[in-house]
Amino acid sequence: MSWKNDKRWSDKFICKITPILGANFIAEPPIEEDRDRNTDLIVLNLKEIRFGCRIRKNDYYSRYPNEFTIRSKRPSGQETEIKKIMNGWGDYFFYGFANKDETDLIDWFIGDLQVLREWIINQKKQGRTKKKDWNIKNNIDDSSEFLILNKKDLPHNFIFASKFQ
């Protein structure tokens, strides 16, 4: 699929993603906040928070429940997610799988991109970032190349929140 088609398909899940992010980044404050400052809810972080979001089709879930992919190359030369992440863009990564009807999410996690960046930098320092060291796969139609990572291989603090905690 083209970038526009990819985006159009995944954007239909925005209405499912925003309540999840709200539940993880907005909380009840300490009682003093309510009593003294008219505050019933508080955002846990006052700076801008940038979220990358990726939703995969349902048929991938049974085959790859612990893996997640990050686009690493497009034939057009368009800058990809991995390059943007490594350039410091994005704070968190929302990754989920669609249900069979493509109307809801059956599983999801929120990953901390700073932890991912540090892990990749550490892999480079250890000489483990040559193409042969990474699990990279092309789409069937060769429209994209993806870096495939397993959640179990990353530091435990990479997962900020998940459906099955």
Q: What is the pLDDT of residues 89-114, one digit of tens each?
A: 999 999 999 999 999 999 999 999 99
In a domain, 89, yes or no: yes
d(CA 93, CA 159): 9
In a domain, 36, yes or no: no
Specify the pLDDT at position 105. 95
Q: Are 92 and 112 in contact (CB under 8 A)?
A: yes
In a domain, 17, yes or no: no
Full residue range of the structural domain in which residue 109 is found: 48-162
**How many domains are contained in the chain?**
1
In a domain, 53, yes or no: yes
* Residue that has been written with the tokens 């992440």 in this structure: 85
Specify the pLDDT at position 133. 63
Specify the pLDDT at position 131. 60
pTM higher than the cut 0.75: yes
Q: Are 33 and 42 in contact (CB under 8 A)?
A: yes
In a domain, 64, yes or no: yes
Which CA distances in Å does 154 have to 68, 89, 146?
11, 19, 17
In a domain, 116, yes or no: yes
Specify the pLDDT at position 46. 66
Specify the pLDDT at position 130. 61
Q: Which residues, at least 6 apart from 145, have a Cβ–Cβ distance to it below 8 Å?
A: 71, 72, 73, 74, 136, 137, 138, 139
Specify the pLDDT at position 31. 87
In a domain, 112, yes or no: yes
In a domain, 5, yes or no: no
Specify the pLDDT at position 7. 82
Residue 24: which of 83, 94, 81, 75 has the closest Cα?
Answer: 94
Looking only at the bridges linking them, the beta strands covering 135-138 and 105-112 are unpaired
d(CA 46, CA 116): 22
Local confidence pLDDT in tens for the 165 residues of the chain? 567 887 888 889 999 999 999 888 888 888 888 788 888 888 766 678 899 999 999 999 989 889 999 998 888 888 889 999 999 999 999 999 999 999 999 999 999 999 999 999 998 888 776 666 678 888 888 788 898 999 998 999 999 999 865
